[in-house]
Amino acid sequence: MKKKIVSSLLAVTLVAAMLAGCGSAGQEQASAPAEEAPAEEAPAEEEAPAEEEAPAETAEAGGDLADIQWGFIVGSFEHVFYQNVAAGIEAGCKELGLDESQYNITDCNLEAEKATNAIENFTANGCNSIALACNDAAGCVPGIDAAAAAGVNMFNFDSKAADLTNVISFVGTDNYQGGVIGAQELIRLTEEGDTVAIIGNPESVSTQDREQGCLDTLEKEAPDRVVIHGNNYGGDAIKAQEIMETILISNPEVKAVFTVGDPAATGALAAIKAAGSSCLIIGFDGNPEAKEAMLDAENGKYWVSEVAQDPENIGKGIVEQMYKYYTTGEVDDQIIMINPYAFTAEDIK
């Protein structure tokens, strides 16, 4: 019931923000870079390589907070992780004292085309800064580049774009390191010669990185383990359940499975219990359902470890970088990684 209440409150807040859009104040601010650019070319002449970047870097420095019009595009409101990212964005904007009419949070259903459409809509409605999760790393780049060319300051969070040329700052989990941690948990929970599995999702760059980090670490630190991988659960728990069922039919001896997202762990849990297997699960995200399962007397026999992200701080972090750029023309770094970590039921207790 607690999850439903939180999700409902978030949905109401997000709908209110979406109705507001990026209003006319944002349109006035978005036109400023084009008018100011010629005046900034002179000081840039001293350092030729910086000439093209100078106008963009100082476009909003010292801007009036009343002129802020920001757009945010998360992966999918159906995922608890992105609900929490959105909650962090909301909290960050409120801490700055922004009115709900000054920021708009939407999702793209993990699709590049919808993300691009959202970028275009935000740009047309006068947003002067846009931040998005690039679940399709390459597919989102044309939309980012087009908005940047139109004078919009582009930011990226959670899933990194394939090309960061026009991205001012990225904030997200070090997903490759998360895969390294997942592999170390597989090694800790199994013995030499055991069969282990990975339920992956190659449709997203973040989950690609998790799987690759796991594979590289197993190859380096435990080459004796037999590894089953190369599947795609596509963010769907039911699909993950089917994949786990197939794995258990052909490899009933599998000792542990690393899932690149909590929906996959949920699906794997159902399949393992139905098959009467003792296969152990390492999840990834740190969502509330993971903690509930790990603390449950029955489900906790299988779901024994979790690699956690910090979605709310990812949301707050991207807001902080957008604000810093808006007020100073600078960011802390172009790439800001937040380290994941593993925990067990004992850690939760």
Contact (Cβ atoms closer than 8 angstroms) between residue 166 and residue 154: yes
Please, are residues 343 and 294 in contact by the beta-carbon 8 Å criterion? no
Give the pLDDT of residue 203: 87
**Residue 234: is its pLDDT beyond 80?**
yes
What's the pLDDT score for residue 54? 35
**Stated pTM of the model:** 0.72
Report the topology of domain 175-309: Rossmann fold (3.40.50)
Q: What contacts 12, CB < 8 A, 6 or more positions away?
A: none
Q: Which tokens sit at 69?
A: 């019009």
* DSSP H or E segment with residue 215: helix 205-221
Question: 256 Cβ partners below 8 Å, 6+ apart?
Answer: 185, 186, 189, 190, 194, 196, 197, 279, 280, 281, 282
How far apart, in whole angstroms, are the C-alpha atoms of residue 155 and residue 147?
11
Domain positions in the chain are 2-31+66-168+311-339, 175-309
Predicted confidence band of residue 347 (pLDDT cuts 50, 70, 90): very high
Query: What torsion, rounded to 10 degrees, do the Cα atoms 300, 302, 305, 306 define?
Result: -90
Q: pLDDT digit string (tens) for 251-279?
A: 999 999 999 999 999 999 999 999 999 99
Is the separation of the CB atoms in 284 and 224 below 8 Å?
no
Q: pLDDT: is 26 or 301 the higher one? A: 301
Calculate ∠ Cα 166-41-336, nearest 5°. 30
Domain 2-31+66-168+311-339, CATH class in plain words: alpha beta
Q: What is the pLDDT of residues 34-84, one digit of tens each?
A: 334 344 444 443 444 433 333 334 344 566 788 999 999 999 999 889 999
pLDDT bucket at 248, cuts 50 / 70 / 90: very high
2-31+66-168+311-339 and 175-309 agree in CATH topology: yes
Give per-residue pLDDT as tens, 81-135.
999 999 999 999 999 999 999 999 999 999 999 999 999 999 999 999 999 999 8
pLDDT of the residue at 316:
98
